[in-house]
Structure 1
Amino acid sequence: MNQTNTRAYNFNPGPSALPLEVLEKAQRELINFRGTGMSIMEMSHRSSTFEEIHNGAIARLKKLFSIPDDYEVLFLQGGASLQFSMIPMNFLKAGQKAGYIMTGSWSEKAFKEAKLFGEPYQIASTKENKYRNIPALQDIQYDLDAAYVHLTSNNTIYGTGWHDFPDTGNIPLIADMSSDIMSKPIDVSKFSMIYAGAQKNLGPSGVTVVIIRKDFLETAITEIPTMLKYSTFVENNSLYNTPPTFGIYMLGEVLNWIEDKGGLSEITKLNEEKAKVIYDVIDRSNGFYTGHATPESRSLMNITFRIAEELEKQFLVEAKEAGFVGLNGHRSVGGCRASTYNAVPFEACQALSDFMVEFQNKHQ
């Protein structure tokens, strides 16, 4: 593929593909943002120009994701990994327990951090099955006095995702939605808190979105460092310190793009079509390609599969030569992975599907 004239088929797991239209608009506005004579990266985060960008992104996110009025939307830094610590630091009091549902590496990391602040326990785990599936809802049992229940909605490394969420009643439910936020409509009111790194479906790396219910926020511990309190950022509209201004601008433009595409209902249809053309090849390959996730737990965002060991390296070499980027599985598990986030066009997924069929025909 001539890389100078054609964009790569980008299946990177994060940072991942961004909509071409958004990149082109950012390119046009990069040096002189809307007649200000400055780049968005040069202007004050206290300026009226940036305030309009910042508040516009929050408003768009609330509208597209149908976020109820009793929730706050924050733009933080530190990625989802910092949230692994901030959540128990704010909401897990001494002697309290918190339930964690274990579905992969990221839930393991969140659980490890929570151990530093309280008494987390594993509600359910599919580790014995090599994280090939999501726990059945009827198998999820938790203490009624738990401070909260935590889950990871989509597992980038193992290629599994939740299609229905547990009803935890009066126990606050917290979700790490870093790799599938804004890929489909959800009922936000089921959750006391949702958080997500932006670098999969929302924009470039550097911004972390936190959606938190006001009454849950009121239960937070207060004797912790200022920069680690959610209330600090609520009280200052996420502008307590200098925010990642360019990332927030890009996030707002990605949300505009989602709106222009018809909102989450249309994005969902497209994501289902993209995933189907790849999963169909795996399912019809008679074992040449082996999917990691069980069919009922398959992710629409991360499609993980293996090929016979002697051919896997060759597949990745030939795929790279054909212009496909980011198909290597995570370093901890190996294999292959196609991350089909919102901005990955259908044409890229169809091209990968065709390449997989051709590769099988050549090497079977």
Structure 2
Amino acid sequence: MSKSKVGINRILNFGAGPGKIPVAVLAEVRNEFLNFENTGMSITEISHRSSEYSKINNEAQNAVKQLLSVPDNYKILFLPGGGQGMFSAIAMNLMNRTGSADYVVAGIWSGLAAKEAAKYGTVNPVFPKPGKLGDIPDSKSWTLNPNASYLYYCDNETIEGIEFPFIPETRGSVPIVVDMASNIMTRKFDVSKFGLIFAPVQKNLGTAGVVLAIIRDDLLGTPMKICPSVLNFTELANTNSILNTPPIFQVYVTGKILQWINIQGGLKEMEKQCCQKSQLLYNAINQSNNFYECHVPENFRSRINVSFKIGGGNDNLEEKFVQEAEEHRIYQLRGHRLVGGIRVSLYNAVSYEDTETLVQFMKNFQAKYQNSIERHL
């Protein structure tokens, strides 16, 4: 592979998170790292109380608002703690409303969120645990509580590769809380349908260490007494996410990536590319005569994280796939340790050409091993 603009021989990175960052963004960060905007300081050294950081913070919030058409009655926050921290923060900030919440447990991440929330109130799973991947019952059959504090679901289960093709409905005025960690900024959606949207940024929006949250004003003001200030949505909203020393570098990188998305053509272009990349990969899987198998039903297949098995789940063959891919400088394809197999993450910074290179490798790998192993069908 040729050297990139950042002067490094870049590999193809299909990691699930931290995910690939656009090279143009990395180059700009590099150029500003030692002397940010002629301050004589690195971006990692400036004060969070400075006018320079205030500008970074406000510009990132405004970019989110513009890209997602966020209504005026929502606050845009940057929080510490990552996704798992948010599992607790959501319950501590919102469960107090009625003492219970509905949870759509469709995969590992939503299951962990429900387990954490159960420490702070009553959690109602709206349907039994699915017997297999993507086996999600019709939403009309869900057991919903009209007095729930909120309905929680994960829009894209990163580990299994399950993405919801619809926004769940609730009863009465129950607000929807959604985890969009891995598919935020890959398509336009109606923010007003949600009470709270959150996404750790290290997949589509930056580097690990900060969570983007978009919360409706009427959901502020009822945190539990045990909720720490650093996870208190109301206190963070009142201080414009600068209650304590914020993760300045992470917010800075997120702002750069939001600018990059705008330059590329905004969410309309991101969605177009997302669909093209995932369709190319799923076509390769579907046309492989079951050499590659995706067990998620087609209507719930993720556009972002594509999980599949090789040779009916042949561990040795899957290890060969990962090793030989790395020999071709294609990295981070091993599936999550809880489900195994192969996982390909197609975040916004992953190009169509990157995906074409992977698909060609997959075809060559199949041709090499199709007839030399006993497939487990």
Task: Report the TM range for the smaller structure's normalisation.
Answer: over 0.9
Matched, 1:167 2:175: no
For the residue of structure 2 that corresponds to 1:68, the secondary structure is: coil
Stretches of structure 2 lacking an aligned partner (at least 5 in a row): 371-377
Using the alignment, how far apart are the partners of 1:79 and 1:150 within structure 2?
Answer: 17
Using the alignment, how far apart are the partners of 2:42 and 2:167 within structure 1?
Answer: 42
Match of 2:375 in 1: none
1:223 Cα deviation (Å)?
5.9
For the residue of structure 1 that corresponds to 2:252, the secondary structure is: helix
CA contact (8 A) 1:153 1:161 kept: yes
Match of 1:74 in 2: 77
Matched, 1:149 2:116: no
Using the alignment, how far apart are the partners of 2:80 and 2:222 within structure 1?
Answer: 22
What is the aligned counterpart of 1:54 among 37, 53, 57? Answer: 57
Match of 1:314 in 2: 320
Using the alignment, how far apart are the partners of 2:331 and 2:46 within structure 1?
Answer: 34
Aligned pairs for 1:212-231 (under 5 A) are 212-221=215-224, 224-231=227-234
CA contact (8 A) 1:133 1:160 kept: no
Matched, 1:361 2:363: no
The one-letter code of the counterpart of 1:205 is A
The one-letter code of the counterpart of 1:67 is V
Aligned in 2, Cα 1:312/1:218: closer, same or farther, shift over 3 Å?
A: same
Aligned in 2, Cα 1:7/1:145: closer, same or farther, shift over 3 Å?
A: same
What is the aligned counterpart of 2:139 among 118, 137, 141? Answer: 137
Number of matched pairs: 363
What is the aligned counterpart of 1:327 among 333, 336, 339? Answer: 333
CA contact (8 A) 2:130 2:136 kept: no
What is the aligned counterpart of 2:351 among 345, 348, 362? Answer: 345
1:126 Cα deviation (Å)?
5.0
- More displaced 10-residue stretch of structure 1: 192-201 or 88-97: 88-97
1:136 Cα deviation (Å)?
2.8
Q: Please give the per-residue CA displacement for 1:341-360, whole angstroms capped at 9, x wherever unaligned.
A: 11111111010111111111
Q: Please give the per-residue CA displacement for 1:312-354, whole angstroms capped at 9, x wherever unaligned.
A: 1111111111111110000111100000011111111010111
What is the aligned counterpart of 2:300 among 297, 301, 318? Answer: 297
Using the alignment, how far apart are the partners of 1:293 and 1:167 within structure 2?
Answer: 23
CA contact (8 A) 1:103 1:125 kept: no
CA contact (8 A) 1:99 1:121 kept: yes
The alignment's TM-score, normalised by the length of structure 2, stands at: 0.93
What is the aligned counterpart of 2:198 among 178, 195, 200? Answer: 195
Q: Please give the per-residue CA displacement for 1:146-177, whole angstroms capped at 9, x wherever unaligned.
A: 11100001011100101211122410110011
Stretches of structure 1 lacking an aligned partner (at least 5 in a row): none
Using the alignment, how far apart are the partners of 2:274 and 2:58 within structure 1?
Answer: 28
The one-letter code of the counterpart of 2:354 is A
Matched, 1:179 2:182: yes
- More displaced 10-residue stretch of structure 1: 92-101 or 269-278: 92-101
The alignment's TM-score, normalised by the length of structure 1, stands at: 0.96
- More displaced 10-residue stretch of structure 1: 310-319 or 49-58: 310-319
CA contact (8 A) 1:84 1:113 kept: yes
> What is the percent sequence identity of the aligned residues?
41
1:221 Cα deviation (Å)?
3.9
CA contact (8 A) 1:222 1:229 kept: no
Match of 2:118 in 1: 115
Aligned in 2, Cα 1:14/1:125: closer, same or farther, shift over 3 Å?
A: farther
What is the aligned counterpart of 1:282 among 275, 282, 285? Answer: 285
Using the alignment, how far apart are the partners of 1:41 and 1:134 within structure 2?
Answer: 45
For the residue of structure 1 that corresponds to 2:96, the secondary structure is: coil
Segments ≥4 residues shifted beyond 2 Å? 1-6, 93-96, 124-127, 131-141, 218-228
CA contact (8 A) 1:158 1:292 kept: no
Matched, 1:268 2:274: no
CA contact (8 A) 1:278 1:353 kept: yes
Match of 2:261 in 1: 258
- More displaced 10-residue stretch of structure 1: 302-311 or 148-157: 302-311
* RMSD (Å), alpha carbons: 1.6
Aligned in 2, Cα 1:178/1:125: closer, same or farther, shift over 3 Å?
A: farther
For the residue of structure 1 that corresponds to 2:148, the secondary structure is: coil
Aligned pairs for 1:7-18 (under 5 A) are 7-18=10-21
